[in-house]
Amino acid sequence: MAEAVFITRQGLMVVVRTLFLLVFCLWIPTEVVARTGNTIANNSKIPSRPSVVRIGALFTLDSVIGRSAKAGILAAIEDVNNSTSVLPGVKMEFILHDTNCSGFLGTVEALQLMENDVVAAIGPQSSGIAHVISHVVNELHVPLLSFGATDPTLASLQYPYFIRTTQNDYFQMNAIAELIDYYEWREVIAIYVDDDNGRGGISALGDALAKKRAKISYKAAFPSGAPISNISELLNGVNLMESRVYVLHVNPDSGLTIFSIAKKLGMMSSGYVWIATDWLPSRLDAYEPVNPDTLNMLQGVIALRHHTPDTDLKKRFMSRLKNLKDKESTPSFNSYALYAYDSVWLVARALDAFINEGGNISFSSDSRLRETNGSMLNFASLRTFDGGPQFLQKILNMNFTGLSGQIGRRIGYWTNYSGLSIVAPEILYTKPPNTSISNQHLNGVIWPGETTTKPRGWVFPNNGKPLRIAVPNRVSYLEFVAKDKDPPGVKGYCIDVFEAALNLLPYPVPHQYILYGNGDRNPNYNALVNDVAQNKFDAAVGDVTIVTNRTRVVDFTQPFMESGLVVVVPVKEVKSSPWSFLKPFTAEMWCVTGAFFLFVGAVVWILEHRLNHEFRGPPRKQLITVFWYIFMCFNNDIAFACIVYHSILFAFVWCIANQNLGENTVSTLGRLVLIIWLFVVLIINSSYTASLTSILTVQQLSTQIAGIDSLISGTQPIGIQDGSFARRYLIDELNIAESRIVTLKNQQAYIDALMRGPEGGGVVAIVDELPYIEILMSNTQCQFRTVGQEFTKSGWGFAFQKDSPLAVDLSTAILELSENGDLQKIHDKWLSVNSCPTQVSDVDSNKLSLKSFWGLFLICGIACFLAVTAFFARVFCQYMKFIPQTEEEVADEQIEAARPRRRTSRSTSFKNIIDFVDKKEAEIKEILRHNSNKRRRSQSLDRQSDYSIP
């Protein structure tokens, strides 16, 4: 079966299927719409209509396009002359000139045609001749309607009298670009005839592919009429290249020769993709039925064909063409017969409107053409069409229904309205445009080799040369990549990852490793990447960091190792001192903790003094009791620390308060304060323990460098690895003076420079990538540590030339290695190192300050304040009830007050309050109960006296 795609003047293409061939085709719409322009107002006086008008035709008669076009033009002339609605009473004469496939002869024939005072010319089919003739018709004001010149550079701005009645290659090439993007191919090879039409079309294809992030990797041009040997040599060269997607843009008369040669070279088998422009359907349609051998040769080829909806008008016309007398020389007709037919009708309708609105068909001589300076060329016979400008506008304003080409089974359509689709364009135009990727669909395709599997579109060059892979010849950190005596000559973590990824590809990748560098020092990795970009190598495999300036010239795979720059400094062990137990807290923290120790003790004493006999007695005894009690809170907290870590905090605290201190605490408020205080003590004690443990085991920095910011602000030397990108990064991005940077050759140089320090001619710190530093710390028993955070985030990847499809396939393979665990296995094989803490800090940074605990102290203080406030509120209420209220008590108090006292009444009152507060709770309750009973008895006696009989 075959496929075809068709294009409208608005850019519509449809995919059609016939036997063993996938073809795409162009379409001139059934409704031909020309550009708008100004019309001529009707004259008040209409001149007489001419009896005869002449139109000319320019094309190659003995050609695939010419034979069909001639039949279409003759049929159109006959229909116009028989029509009673268009040009009534006017006979249209047809003058034909054969261009003979020659630019020079075509130009001569065009000049001879203009001598016949034609009002319009149909043709030419060649874009090269159209470029020349367009200058002639511009001067003579004769519209040139071309049904075959598709060169996109034939622009109406430059050639206003050139009117294209077919679609130019701009839309055809955009359809091809979208098709290539749909199948996810990124490189194509263009094979074309080196003429105006070929160059213009392929240029449009390159622009369209660039929008899809694809490209033409090679342009294989050959001259028109090239011998078979030249074409065979060209295809042999193309076959040695990587891309297997070919776009063929040639002439329909000789294009099948290319497929015949390609078949012999084995280039029509599985894995190849051939996309032909509209020349191929034109060639096949002109020789129906097609030879079965030709169809077998073209199996799997995709081509473009013009398309319009199938109508009865088209069917009747095609049936009529087949009955023409010259059918023996032209067994069938292609779509160019329709374009030529519509072109004649376009001229006829425009001419009819022109005459009806008062247009006059007249010609004038050009004085510039009379001065031939003795030349034998009769340029004076060329005359200018006086009504040419007005007639041109009529043509541009025409809108009528024409013919369309046949269609069969489809794999889909392409329009510049909605892209690739399996829905007909007529339906798409009734819906909003949608060119999103998810909306692009095509039916299945049978590719060369009779397979339905989408070709990959590229292979490794078939020239016997394996992939040239550059490998850094390192002198340090050989775990990642190093020279090896055994084949393949290199080894290391990076090599194993690359080989494992290659094994996951569905195709073999012949390759050879080439060591890069002299082996005395690490190579310059920027130079390595640039050599890949300049085609000195096909790829670079190793510990190559993915950085911005490198991604501009090469393509990287998915990172297989995370990396980033870090700062490394030496560390030293800190010996513990007799006063290490004071280091967990700052002085401020110790003072506040001690103050709250006393404050909580005082609060507990106030709350427990009236209820708990243990808090009564001489002042000295009570003070000792308070301190001992608060100390026991710490002791109990330590004793039950393990329980707290494995139980609910508040449940534990409640158990502490009720079980361990229940015998000592009596008041509810005291227990509440105790619970909160125990919670505070628990947190402080745990933090103290953790901080003390850290301080006793910490390694202290031997320098004051705390990260990259410290390095930037300093002036001391900084070490970097030889060949690393870190040099340019520190200089260009961080503005560190180049004089401060010291290049270190290997790992031993790292150790020596760090241990000597800047005072001994070494460096204050080293800036390098984390994978190297992890190896360094492991090999030196953690004598060096990183400070600060990674200040760059990147990774290692394999570098390939720009737009290499292998980079994409290997990225997928690396992701698969990561998902199935093989990447980690390779890492463990080569980089199984002893873990070291990646960060160190100074002892002072482990101290706990008040800022971390002021919230706890605030909660505890508020709780104590509320408890004491509630306590004194209760005492005040009791005291108010304790004041004597009866007259007897007042009298007794007056008698008592009359007695001489040493103290004033105010002092006596304050002393009474203090004495009241100091009383036991039980005693106060007893006194209040006694006073309450006494008042009730007194009130009872008063009521009895009121009811006594005298």
DSSP 660: I
Counting Cα atoms < 13 Å in the Cβ hemisphere of 856 gives 21
How far, in Å, CA of 7 to CA of 339, rounded? 13
Is the preceding omega at residue 584 within 30 degrees of 0, hence cis? no
Token reading at 529: 């990447």
Nearest to residue 73, comparing CAs of 434, 328, 346? Answer: 346
Tell me which long-range contacts 777-783 makes (C-beta under 8 A, separation of at least 24).
777/568, 777/836, 778/833, 778/834, 778/835, 778/836, 779/747, 779/833, 780/751, 781/834, 782/571, 782/834, 782/836, 782/837, 783/570, 783/571, 783/751
Supply the mean pLDDT for the chain: 76
Average of pLDDT values for 284-313?
80
Q: DSSP for 381-436?
A: G-EEETTHHHHHHHHHH-EEE-------EEEEEEETTTEEESS-HHHHTTS-----
In contact, 337 and 73? CB cutoff 8 Å: no
When pLDDT is averaged across residues 323-351 and rounded to a whole number, the result is 76
Of 226-235, 639-648, 690-699, 839-848, the one with minimum mean pLDDT is: 639-648
Residues 6+ apart with CB under 8 A from 900: none
Q: Which two tokens stand for residue 638?
A: 């330590």
Give the HSE-up count for residue 667: Cα atoms under 13 Å, Cβ half-sphere. Answer: 26
pLDDT at 911: 66
Q: What is the CATH number of domain 169-305+410-439?
A: 3.40.50.2300
User: What is the reported pLDDT for 887?
Assistant: 43
- Residue spans of beta strands (DSSP E) within 165-322: 187-193, 215-222, 245-249, 273-276, 302-303, 305-306
CATH fold for domain 467-563+798-831: D-Maltodextrin-Binding Protein; domain 2 (3.40.190)
DSSP for residue 379: G
User: With contact defined as beta carbons under 8 Å apart, do 420 and 412 qualify?
Assistant: yes
Output the six-digit token pair for 763.
């460096």
Domain definitions of the chain by residue range: 52-164+336-397, 169-305+410-439, 467-563+798-831, 569-574+701-793, 580-656+667-697
What confidence tens digit (pLDDT) does each residue in 814-828 have? 999 999 999 999 999
Highest mean pLDDT (candidates 374-388, 730-744, 898-912): 730-744
Q: Distance (Å, rounded) from C-alpha 88 to C-alpha 230?
A: 55
Q: 936 by DSSP, 3-state: which?
A: helix
571: left (phi over 0), alpha (psi -120 to 50) or beta: beta
Amino acid in the structure at residue 942: D
**Residue indicated by tokens 């003579």:** 140
**Residue 206 burial (CB count, 10 A):** 17
From CA 186, how far away is CA 196, in angstroms rounded?
Answer: 26
Task: Give the other-Cβ count within 10 Å of 148's Cβ.
Answer: 25
713 HSE (CA, 13 A, CB side)? 7
Fold of 569-574+701-793: D-Maltodextrin-Binding Protein; domain 2 (3.40.190)
Give the β-pairing of 13-18 and 21-26: antiparallel
- Alpha-helical (H) ranges within 564-648 are 587-608, 619-639, 641-645
State the pLDDT at residue 406: 33
Q: How far apart are CA 19 and CA 16, in angstroms?
A: 10
Amino acid identity of 846?
N
Asked whether the beta carbons of 796 and 560 are under 8 A apart, the reply is: yes
CATH number, domain 52-164+336-397, options 3.40.50.2300, 3.40.50.1360, 3.40.50.740, 3.40.50.2020: 3.40.50.2300
SS3 track for 789-805: CCCCCEEECCEEECCCH
Highest mean pLDDT among 62-66, 719-723, 904-908: 719-723
Query: How far is it, in rounded angstroms, from Cα 641 to Cα 710?
Result: 41
pLDDT at residue 653 in the model:
40
Distance, in Å, from the CA atom of 278 to the CA atom of 301, rounded to the nearest integer, reads 12
User: Is 169-305+410-439's fold the same as 569-574+701-793's?
Assistant: no
| pLDDT score recorded for residue 202 | 93
Q: Which pLDDT band, with edges at 50, 70 and 90, does 39 fall under?
A: very low
Output DSSP code: residue 403: -
User: Considering only 383-397, 864-878, 902-916, which range has the smallest mean pLDDT?
Assistant: 902-916
Distances (CA, A) of 50 to 32, 54, 77, 364: 27, 11, 17, 17
DSSP string of 905-925, one letter each residue: HHHHHHHHHHHHHHS-HHHHH
The strand pairing partners of 835, in sequence order, are none
The confidence score (pLDDT) of residue 917 equals 66
Tens of pLDDT, residues 86-113: 898 889 998 888 887 777 787 888 888 8
CA-only gyration radius of the chain, Å: 50
pLDDT at 639: 42
With contact defined as beta carbons under 8 Å apart, do 163 and 123 qualify?
Answer: no
